[in-house]
Amino acid sequence: MNKISYSFSYHNGLQFNFSNNKKLLIDGSTTKISPKTTSIVSHAHSDHFSVMNSNIPTYATQETIDLYLCQKTGNTRGIFHPMRFNEKFELETDFDDLEVTLVSSGHILGSASILLELAGKKILFSSDIGGKGLLTIKEPLAKPEVDTLIVEATFGSPEISFQPREEISMDILKWAANAIKEKRNVVISAGRIGSAQELIKLFNDFTNLRVITHGDVSPPSEVYKKHDINLEFKDSKSDEGREIVKSGEAVIIQSRERKIVPYFLSEHIKYRSAIVTGMASRFSYKDFDASFPLSSHASFDELLDYISKVTPKKVFTLYGFEKKLAKAISNELQIPAIPLKDKSLEEGLENLVEIPHLKKTQNINLLTEKPLLPEEQQKKPSLQKDKTLDDFFRKR
Ligand SMILES: [Zn+2]
């Protein structure tokens, strides 16, 4: 049997080019895709699933497919293959001996790290991974002994460190209790998929306060319920939801992307506002009464802990603080690590595949289209940018 060879790089997603001209696109951020492409989507955050708007075959967990569909208006052209966690599968199209396993990444409902086994090598793409102590999902499952790990670096800087999640949760509950004592509603802006459901569960499990979901937080929260995550909430537009808000004892969860004050809160209905984001550990948010560093992403320490459990021979970092994380992995874990966008095609092949001849693709040139921002800007993001930090870091 001919041994298949491959290369990988990052351009509009994590791209694998195979010597039989097939392509595998993971978390593709484009719908302009060549026909011989198959895709895998790790989870249902919009910066990972654009490829699902195209008509190529896409593999994902059922939870990811459901969360994607609940965000979509109109029909989808997607051809979806739902897969279960921890069950090895082959792609429908001819990828020779490539085997794939989706492993829980502990980030949001259905989120997966993707393990590829090919030509006797194991490559794990972590995608976004969660930290410890989440209430709606278990912590990421590290798959040990891979050859190559491609790991996210959203909070891959030692400057971004969180308190333990339990402490942050306690701070949120105390802050909310004080606001409610003053007969004020509580409005918390959070990531609409992940942090929002964590907050609903937090208030459900530890208080008697009633939770209102506002706008586009409601549909994904319903998907969580469909997949047996027990959440109690009322939509802000429901009759019951409106009554609860009038009582002045509501916990209102809305998306961070929304404008700050929900339309139904007027001067007659008092409230206190907060934002939850991992970046609150480093930045202040003047438009909110409070901010808390609750995140669906692993903190710097949790990332290093995860990587040490995976025991890779080499690591590529992706998204966010990729340079700083690569440096920390090299220095603290003694594992060779570089940002994925710095990887030369030849270097990757040399280390990953024994086959000597493979055509260069455009990818390596295209990589340079996304230069890093100057180091100085990385250190001092403006407060204006802080409000859309998820987008801000994704663009790097
Ligand atoms: Zn994500």
At residue 3 the predicted structure's pLDDT band, cuts being 50, 70 and 90, is low
What percent of the chain clears pLDDT 70, i.e. is strictly above it? Answer: 84
Split into its structural domains, the chain has a count of: 2
Instruction: State in Å: Cα 43 to ligand 1 middle.
Output: 7
Q: What is the CATH number of the domain that holds 75?
A: 3.60.15.10
Nearest to 224 by CA among 206, 202, 251, 197: 197
Instruction: State in Å: Cα 105 to ligand 1 middle.
Output: 10
Instruction: State in Å: Cα 241 to ligand 1 middle.
Output: 29
Strands (E), the chain: 6-10, 14-18, 23-26, 37-40, 57-61, 79-83, 99-104, 112-118, 121-125, 148-152, 185-190, 210-213, 234-235, 250-255, 271-276, 290-292, 314-318, 337-339
136 falls within a domain: yes
37 falls within a domain: yes
Instruction: State which of 292, 318, 349 marks the end of a domain.
Output: 292
137 and 184 both lie in a single domain: no
Distance CA 218, CA 109 (A): 14
181 and 221 both lie in a single domain: yes
1 falls within a domain: no
Return the pLDDT at 206: 96
At residue 202 the predicted structure's pLDDT band, cuts being 50, 70 and 90, is very high
Which residue range forms the structural domain that includes residue 368? 6-159+297-394
Instruction: State in Å: Cα 163 to ligand 1 middle.
Output: 21
90 falls within a domain: yes
Q: Is the pLDDT of residue 39 over 50?
A: yes
Q: What one-character DSSP code corresponds to residue 372?
A: P
Return the pLDDT at 363: 32
150 and 178 both lie in a single domain: no
Instruction: State in Å: Cα 338 to ligand 1 middle.
Output: 21
Instruction: State in Å: Cα 370 to ligand 1 middle.
Output: 20
Q: Is the pLDDT of residue 154 over 80?
A: yes
Higher-pLDDT residue of 358, 306: 306
At residue 373 the predicted structure's pLDDT band, cuts being 50, 70 and 90, is very low
250 falls within a domain: yes
Give the number of residues written for the chain.
396
Instruction: State in Å: Cα 20 to ligand 1 middle.
Output: 31
Instruction: State in Å: Cα 176 to ligand 1 middle.
Output: 26
353 and 257 both lie in a single domain: no
Instruction: State which of 239, 260, 292 marks the end of a domain.
Output: 292
- H/E element holding 322? helix 322-332
102 and 184 both lie in a single domain: no
Instruction: State in Å: Cα 394 to ligand 1 middle.
Output: 10
146 and 182 both lie in a single domain: no
Instruction: State in Å: Cα 291 to ligand 1 middle.
Output: 20
304 falls within a domain: yes
10-24, 98-112, 380-394: segment of lowest average pLDDT: 380-394
Instruction: State in Å: Cα 377 to ligand 1 middle.
Output: 23
238 and 98 both lie in a single domain: no
Q: 386 phi and psi, to 5 degrees?
A: -60, -30
248 and 377 both lie in a single domain: no
Contacts of 246 (CB under 8 A, 6+ apart): 269
131 and 44 both lie in a single domain: yes
42 falls within a domain: yes
Q: Which two tokens stand for residue 357?
A: 């001849």
Neighbours of 377 (CB within 10 A): 12
149 and 181 both lie in a single domain: no
Instruction: State in Å: Cα 208 to ligand 1 middle.
Output: 30
Q: What is the CATH number of the domain that holds 176?
A: 3.40.50.12650
Q: Which two tokens stand for residue 255?
A: 């998306």
Instruction: State in Å: Cα 194 to ligand 1 middle.
Output: 8
Instruction: State in Å: Cα 139 to ligand 1 middle.
Output: 14
Q: Is the pLDDT of residue 215 over 50?
A: yes
109 falls within a domain: yes
198 and 307 both lie in a single domain: no
Instruction: State in Å: Cα 128 to ligand 1 middle.
Output: 5
Q: Is residue 36 packed enough to be buried (19+ CB in 10 Å), middle (13-18) or exposed (0-12)? A: middle
Instruction: State in Å: Cα 66 to ligand 1 middle.
Output: 15
Instruction: State which of 242, 265, 292 marks the end of a domain.
Output: 292
Q: Is the pLDDT of residue 30 over 80?
A: yes
Return the pLDDT at 390: 46
Return the pLDDT at 208: 94
213 and 99 both lie in a single domain: no
Higher-pLDDT residue of 312, 74: 312
For 91-101, write each residue's pLDDT tens digit. Answer: 877 777 899 99
